[in-house]
Structure 1
């Protein structure tokens, strides 16, 4: 199953802004607390990060349910190639926080040691600005 990635909204059935208890109910109890503010839904290939109010603010997607952005598969590919594909679909990656975090596009990518995308994340608007304050 492919996880559909929607910047600023969610990944698959996991939605930004949802409460932790709702996310856990939807997952039918198939999760494991990963850190105090993170639940791992490894069967779905998703980690949900929560703020102090137990609201989802950041969602990361990886195997075994590969994420796709507007039909573009991203895992195992070089970032530059994926960005080029997504720019052709209307994404703007001109403003970057780092080489793989794009706050205005609502996307962040984790790059593995081989230089390939290992996961993709979405987050709430202004997520990174709030971290810096």
Structure 2
């Protein structure tokens, strides 16, 4: 029986709930494997071959190869697991977050220092300001 999910109407936001967790299980397991140095080395040596060892969908594999973290999230990835990909690539969480917003690292940092994004246009569709 499907659950009522009123939180799905937040523009541009994917909520990591039980359904997302099930969808992204193997993607997130792959990410967690990158905690081990030998797995990071195997991944960097042949990314596609390493990904093919995981029961991920082709869309998930393509999103990882493209480093499209927004797409990875849509496909069930959890940002805290996906951060392992960034760390493997030598990127900070700030650099990753900036790439997800279309901002440079400096622009992203400055936006966050100034209080983050405006809530205008980022509330639930039915929510009052």
Scaled by the length of structure 2, what TM-score is found?
0.28
Higher relative contact order (CA 8 A, sep 6+): 2
